[in-house]
Amino acid sequence: MKTLERAFENARKEGRPALLGFVTGGDPSLELTRKIARSLVDGGVDVVELGIPFSDPIADGPSIQSSSRRALQSGVTPFAILEMAEEIVNDLDVPVLLLSYFNSIFRRGTDEFLTLAAKSKVSGVIIPDLPVEESGEFVKIARRRMIDTIFLATPATPNDRLEKIIGSTSGFLYLVTIFGVTGAREYVTDSAREVAKRFVQRVNGRIPVAVGFGVSRPEHVKLFWEDGVDGVIVGSALVNIIEKTIGDEPSMLGELTKFVQSLRAATKV
């Protein structure tokens, strides 16, 4: 059983959604990102998602854009993040995903990037700007390296294209329930919940479904779990904690752990 599959299966056995935590690699430094990852895992994150900073992250809102700028200004490179990913896997025994825009991969070469990712024990890669229709070569190489390629579906995804995505994605389906970019939100709309229910019904257990973009409160986790999703992805809310506590490492790490604990406890009866 692959590591992502095991993470979702273990969460399901415990009667809760898998919790995936996103942070930008190198924000505010590589050394602190390692400590942040430990804080997230201590709080109950099942999967750590590391963003490779990019100068034009089209799918990301202000919080993650700012974190990318801070990471780039600190001189972080994709390959430093790959090395860190291996350290996190070895030290914390948790699956690590990479989120990268395709240009960062293309510049190095798909085969070389995925070879390095495999050596770094990366479980999966999310590429927001790689359409499923143009992903054949990437998916083929990734499968040879035993790396999952995770595709996104949105409220605008028609059923015929969703079927193509379901057939190509592995690890899980990344479901975006809202239009727009990433960012912490105050509440979950009825329309977002309807999107989640519709996609869960359409997927019908063929692949785990994880909801991202805007999940930022314990009650959000509870609502989407009630709607049938298998996992939730939290990013901007974590990045916001990092940003507001830069310069106060103990507060940062403590707040991150406490916040994740609140998300993890959201579905407890």
CATH of the domain at 249: 3.20.20.70
pTM of the predicted model as reported, rounded to 2 decimal places: 0.93
- For residue 87, indicate whether it is catalytic: no
Type of residue numbered 150: I
Query: Using one digit for the tens of pLDDT, what is the confidence trace for 81-103?
Result: 999 999 999 999 999 999 998 98
- Please state the length of the chain: 269
Half-sphere exposure for 125 (CA within 13 Å, toward CB): 30
Number of domains comprising the chain: 1
Predicted confidence at residue 61, as pLDDT, reads: 59
Predicted confidence at residue 60, as pLDDT, reads: 54
Nearest Cα to Cα of residue 82 among 19, 134, 33: 33
Residue 13 forms part of a structural domain: no
Residue 9 forms part of a structural domain: no
Low-confidence ranges of the chain (pLDDT < 50): 180-184
Give the per-residue SS3 of 72-109.
HHCCCCHHHHHHHHHHHHHHHCCCEEEECCHHHHHCCC
Type of residue numbered 110: T
Nearest Cα to Cα of residue 57 among 12, 90, 17, 103: 103
Residue 5 forms part of a structural domain: no
| Residue range of the domain that includes 175 | 19-263
Q: Active-site residue among 5, 42, 56, 60? A: 60
Query: Using one digit for the tens of pLDDT, what is the confidence trace for 21-53?
Result: 999 999 999 999 999 999 999 999 999 999 998
Residue 6 forms part of a structural domain: no
Residue 268 forms part of a structural domain: no
- For residue 31, indicate whether it is catalytic: no
Predicted confidence at residue 189, as pLDDT, reads: 85
Residue 211 forms part of a structural domain: yes
Residue 129 forms part of a structural domain: yes
Q: Active-site residue among 27, 46, 49, 255? A: 49
Give the per-residue SS3 of 99-144.
ECCHHHHHCCCHHHHHHHHHHCCCCEEECCCCCHHHCHHHHHHHHH
Residue 67 forms part of a structural domain: yes
Residues 6+ apart with CB under 8 A from 133: 164
In the three-class reduction of DSSP (H, G, I as helix; E, B as strand; rest coil), residue 182 is classed as coil
